[in-house]
Each structure stands twice: as structure tokens, then as C-alpha cells.
Amino acid sequence: MGIRVTVVIPAYNATKTIHDGLESFARQSFPAGEVELIIVDDGSTDGTPEYIERCVKNWGHEQPRVRVIRQAHQGPAAARNLGAEAAHGEFLLFTDADCVPHIDWIKEMVAPISSAGIAAVKGAYKTQQTSLVARFAQAEFEARYRQLAAAEYVDVVFSYSAGFRREVFRTIGGFDTSFPVADNEDTDLSYRVATAGYKIKFNPSAIVYHQHPATLKQYLRKKHSRAYWRVMVYKRFPGKAIRDSYTPQTLKLQIGSVVLAAGAIALIPLVPHAIYVAALSGVLFTATAVPFLWQLPREDPGLRIAAPFLLMCRAVVMASGLMRTVPLLMSKTN
């Protein structure tokens, strides 16, 4: 049988991260003869293409075919599109150079999109990290995955574990290369696929392992960026700002309660009764946090203790990311 699956991986200065992922692709449970692996080097300066070629030099018939394509540095969206253009597979799978797929990842990704009517599939993140912040980040993903699993179809498919029928991906136009960084360009593509009427399926068994932010600084920087770029996507799809299948409504309430509390506290010297608004905001934040806190693993008391503080930090920094978009949005409407 010919190539059924093309896995596309954008790589930029990936010599320190890509090795374990390559080893995983060499051991996938899916038939290797039906898989090609296209790695698009995005103008690396650390010898990434040569490193990859050395890693796969001795791969045989029991491993996928590997091609390395090079482009000038244009970002991951352009790299993924270039890989998709060169693909021979009926199904396009995407992951990242710092991800390590489970041995059954290809099999689990292909299963949903092999079904008639399913155009795309979203997989899941796991991590083996032990730092408190990374454990909290994984707990966030697990909460989102429970929400996705409750839906028959979803409207998000993120590039760390994404699958598309090749003709659907090309019809939609691929990733928007105007996104300069790896942040929400996959959300934009997801919404375009969903609003065009295509069905997206979530498969929590399609797992890739990943290194989440390990420090609070790294985590908050990422959350600030996520909030900023999500607003850029919401400009195109305003209805998704109200509801999508991935973003908890409680998160929006938490961000809103933080903004409301900050405004009320600032007004207390002028309007003493504003203290009641600040207190009410605190009650709202607590009430919306309880479901998440309740579902944290009982065997991780350290995480359960730290989670309220981390939730507050998340809300504050995401609010700052949203506020950062205000001048830009106002300038474009004037």
C-alpha cells in the first residue's frame, strides 16, 4: 500500500529537542510503509537539518520515509504549509519538534479521520515533568480535555497534535502565515475549518508528550501571549469570543472578576462603597475556581495548595494580555 499518512514537523534550532520525537516515530505501531515524515527546517542556525539526517541515516523499512525540506526563516505556519504542499499522504498530521508522540499516536490520529464525515482530529498533551508549574499546566489541559470529551464534535485542533484530510486542509488554505509566532495560528485554522461546516473530532488517546513551562515566569509569559493573540483571532470570529468548545466560561469570569476587583479597589478612596464590589468580585472568582480545584488529583497536595494562587496569577496576566490589545483595536476602528 502507498503513503496514507504524512506527518509534518516544523523545526527551528531543534537539535536539543527533536531526537526523542524521531525515536518515537521509528517505533510507531502504525505500518511504517504507509507513513512519510516531512521535517521542514525553518532557517535553523544550529545545524538542525544535518542533525536530523544523521539521526535517520540508518532507518530501514520498518521506519517511515523521512524528508527534510529547508526554507528561509518564516515561522512555523509557513513551514507547516510548505510540508503540506509536499505531502503525498491522504491524511496530514502535525506535531512539533519538541513533542514526543506515544507509540500509538499515528494510529489514534488516523482512526477518527478515517471515518466518513470527519475532516480533522485533535489529540492531547501529556507531560512527565515534576515541577509544580508544569503539573498545574497539565491540570489545565486535563480540565479542557474533559470539556472537549463531552462534545460530539469540537471546533479546535491545535498543531501539537493535529490531523486533517489533505484535501480539507488545502481547501481551507492552510495556516495563516501572517501570525509571526507559534501562537493561535492553529486556533485561527480551527475556526475556519469549523465555520466551513467540517467536523472535528477530539481523541484523548492520541497523545504527545511535551515540556510545559517549568517556572512561573515562563508560564505567565506564555499565558500573556495566549490572551493577546487569541483576541487577534476573535476579531475574525467574534462569535467564538462568546463560546467555543475549548475555553471554559469560568476562565472568562475569572479574568473579568480580576479586572472588576482592580477597578473597584482603585475607586475605594473616592467611592468607599466600591469595597463591596471588590469583595463580590473575590466571591465570584472563588466560586468559579471551585470546580477546577475540586478535580485536582488528591495525591498531589502541593498542587492543590498552590492552585488558587496560580489561578489568580493566570487571570491577572491574561487580563493584561487582553488589555494590551485595546489600543490596537481602537486604532483600527478609528
Cα torsion angle, 207, 213, 219, 223, sign: negative
The tally of CA atoms less than 13 A away on the side-chain side of residue 168 is: 24
226-254 per-position pLDDT tens digit = 998 898 899 899 999 999 999 999 999 99
- SS3 state of residue 299: coil
Banded pLDDT at 60 (limits 50, 70, 90): confident
Partners of 100 in beta bridges: 209
Report CA 329 to chain centroid distance, whole Å.
24
Query: 214 pLDDT exceeds 60?
Result: yes
Q: Which of 122, 203, 111, 120 is CA-nearest to residue 169?
A: 120
Banded pLDDT at 331 (limits 50, 70, 90): low
Residue type for 248, please? P
Question: Which alpha helices (DSSP H) does 245-273 contain, by range?
Answer: 249-267
Instruction: Give the model's pLDDT for residue 179.
Output: 80
Q: Kindly report the average pLDDT of the chain as a whole number.
A: 93
Banded pLDDT at 46 (limits 50, 70, 90): very high
Domains of the chain: 5-214 (3.90.550.10), 249-333 (no CATH)
- Provide mean pLDDT across the span 71-89: 95
Report CA 143 to chain centroid distance, whole Å.
14
* Cell 478535580 found at: 295
Phi then psi dihedrals of residue 29, to 5 deg: -75, -15
Q: Which of 116, 118, 125, 204 is CA-nearest to residue 159?
A: 125
CB 101 within 8 A of CB 95: yes
pTM equals: 0.91
Q: How far apart are CA 223 and CA 234, in angstroms?
A: 16
Q: How far apart are CA 332 and CA 334, in angstroms?
A: 6
Q: How far apart are CA 307 and CA 293, in angstroms?
A: 7
- Provide mean pLDDT across the span 12-29: 95
Q: How far apart are CA 193 and CA 9, in angstroms?
A: 20
Q: Which of 194, 29, 170, 9 is CA-nearest to residue 109?
A: 29
